[in-house]
Chain A
Amino acid sequence: MSKIHIVGNPNSGKTTLFNSITKSSEHVGNWHGVTVDKVSKLIKFKDKNYELIDLPGLYSFNAFSLEEQISIDEINSSDCKNILYLLDANNFKRGLLLALTLLINNKNIKILINNYKNFTKNNAKIDVRYLKKVLGCEVEIIDAQKLKASEEFFNFKTQTTAFIKTLQNEINNIKNQEKNTNENDENIIEYKKIEILYKYILKISNNCVKKSETIYGYTKFDKRFLKPCIFLPIFILLMFGVVYFTFFLIGPIVTNVFLNILYFTIQKPVMAILNIATNSHFVIALFEEGVFGACFSVLGFLPQISLMYLFLSLLENSGLITRMAFLLDDFLEKLGLNGKIVYTLLMGFGCSTTATISAKNMPDTPSKIKASLLAPLISCSAKLPIYSVVAGALLGVSGIWLILGLYLLGIVMAIVLAIIFEKTILPTGKSNLIIEFPPLKLPNLINILTSIKTSCKQFITKVFGVIFGASIILWLLSNINIKFQYVGDTTRSILYSFSSIISWIFKPIGLNNPNIVCALLVGLVAKELILSTFAIINKVPNLKILSASLMATSSAINFNLASGISFLVFTLLYFPCISNLGVLLKEVGIKFTIIGVCIQLVLGYILSYIVYVGISKGVIYLLLVLLVVILICIAINIIYKKIKSKKIFCNCLTCNKCKK
């Protein structure tokens, strides 16, 4: 089996090519750093098997960030024998640097010139035959989105031409010259090597590229609107519009239609058959509450989650994220963050697990850890159904302001935590942001639809997998007692008994109802299960009744304004879901995962307490509580500074300045 690696600069179309050849739907976007890990897939042409490997983008063999190191390690491994090199026609000179580096290192490569159609818009042209002759490798113009590969596509052989030999000799001469000096600085060798390579690249470019003077990436829109006072307010209004559109305008209408379809096509016929087939209240209740009530309450939000992913996908594919990074980096630097975190946090609106994975594109480990720990604070799509139902129950149409407040609170808490990390355990200092500025473009419809399809598929798989299984177990635990007898009464169930033991912990924040505690515990597995728990415990067969049941005092789970808002704040912050926890452990290690989780729990509890007390006991009590919290924070800060100055917990191995 042959291994073929796809290599190229960031945002050159590698993953698009990978998806075209393998018929996959790996994540793509108009942003430097979408692919952060290697992805491989087996493909077969006639009798021959190939393993196609997509790698994160890089500029050279010197890693500047963590995902680039993955690519370098892979290219330098003995497995890497055949390379499909993606060269963006609009970034010809820069792209040729890595191609020449690979050729000098005797790699077998085939250069694929992508985005050629866009390049030729202003009468620009590349002489492919000249390139083939000079470089000694196959060069082909492709459209990565529409490529149909064949066996011949993967058969290529590079020959070392006189030009490549000249380059190799010049670079060896530099190395020899440096060896003879006293310093033998490897960095100086690298600088001179790059200067030589670019000298030849400029010559090649003059001979084979006919190009117009337009600047690639910087458009008329950028000239006019790329200013904080114009772009940022427009963006904020856009975010508000999306939330309003998703939660209160189109979202509920589409959800309603979708729920009716689910009810009339699946739930009603199945329940009718069950009512005929059996008299067992146990079976009927299991299906009505445990299956349909629990699963469809979550599934009903599929249209709204799709709308959210549509917006995120538009943002990702248009190039707006880089513009946001440019405008916000000055502010983010003060928080000890890097502009690249904009992408991570925006991904957090979709899924915090994906956001944590994307933190690999940070330039160094402290920035990556910070980004990974901040991502769970952002309101992800799993929390969307909970906000929608509870905020709608509490405040009706005005609930949009509560939902917006929750989104904002997540962002504010991320900022607060970033400052705490910067001042304490994860200082990073100045931001060394260097990102390529991609052009603004109309998002490709196929990419958008593929992205939404993938997200919906993952959501549906989750509903019919984890949520379905967990809902059955939840229903059983909330309807059978400790003697495993069906009681049909949640207050006598195993779940209630267990939740009652620890419910006192939640009394200060108004959530000491054991059924609510149970929902929060179940939410550790997946946040969507909180809604399923509500449906099961309140014994509602569908989503439409669920919202109203949460305000009815006769329901097992019911809220008033104070406890409802406290619940929402606690759900926003208290704990990442199991899949996010797994990724955190892998990416940042156990120490920082524990730190992050503890901070989230404490923040969630304190804020819920403040909210609950403020609404239920009045402003004066709230001000007293805030004063106490501020004094505690000041005391912690003073103690921390004293500990730091005495260097009692110094981490260095040998330090003569430590007293211990």
Chain B
Amino acid sequence: MTLDVCDKNKTCKIVSINLQDQKLKLRLYEIGFFVGAYAKVLNKSGLKKTLLVQVLDSCFIIKTHIAKFVEVEYE
């Protein structure tokens, strides 16, 4: 499944990132969204198009249309 459909407050492990935009993919890697890392969706915006995700030590705001390309599995 992908990160955008993860339940809130459930830890999941990143399996792959399938973004075509290499610059965006690189940025995700740098901030901690790499294969093998753990992530948790904490909150979603009103229209569910923006996510607040915990990764490594802290939280990041990322768009749902980017999270759709992050394949995860529940721990």
Contact = CB atoms under 8 A, between A and B. Distances in A.
Interface of A: 59-60, 62, 64, 90-94, 97, 187, 190-191, 194-195, 198, 211, 215-218, 222-223, 226-229, 322, 325-327, 329-331, 333, 339, 430-437
Contacts of B34: 191, 194-195, 198
A324 to B, nearest CB: 11
Nearest to B46: A228
A215 B39 CA distance: 12
Contacts of B61: 322, 325-326, 329, 339, 433-437
A332 to B, nearest CB: 10
Contact of B62 (A187, A190, A433): A433
15 contacts: A64-B27, A94-B31, A187-B22, A187-B25, A190-B26, A216-B59, A217-B59, A218-B52, A226-B43, A329-B49, A333-B49, A434-B28, A436-B60, A437-B58, A437-B60
A216 B63 contact: no
Interface of B: 21-32, 34-37, 42-43, 45-47, 49-50, 52, 54, 56-63, 65-66
Given A93-B32, A194-B29, A198-B34, A216 B57 contact: yes
Given A216-B59, A218-B43, A434-B60, 11 more contacts: A64-B26, A191-B25, A191-B26, A191-B34, A222-B52, A326-B50, A327-B46, A329-B45, A331-B47, A434-B24, A434-B62
B58 A330 contact: no
A431 B66 CA distance: 10
B19 to A, nearest CB: 10
Nearest to B29: A194
B59 A191 contact: no
Contacts of B35: 195
Which of A94, A223, A322 has the most C-beta atoms of chain B within 10 angstroms of its own C-beta?
A: A94
Contacts of A322: 61
A431 B34 CA distance: 21
A591 to B, nearest CB: 26
Contacts of B36: 195
A435 B57 CA distance: 14
Contacts of A432: 21, 24, 63, 66
A216 B58 contact: yes
Contacts of A59: 27, 30-31
B46 A430 contact: no
A194 B29 CA distance: 7
Contacts of A430: 63, 65
A218 to B, nearest CB: 5
Contacts of A327: 45-46
Contacts of B46: 227-229, 327, 330
Given A93-B32, A94-B31, A329-B49, A434 B57 contact: no
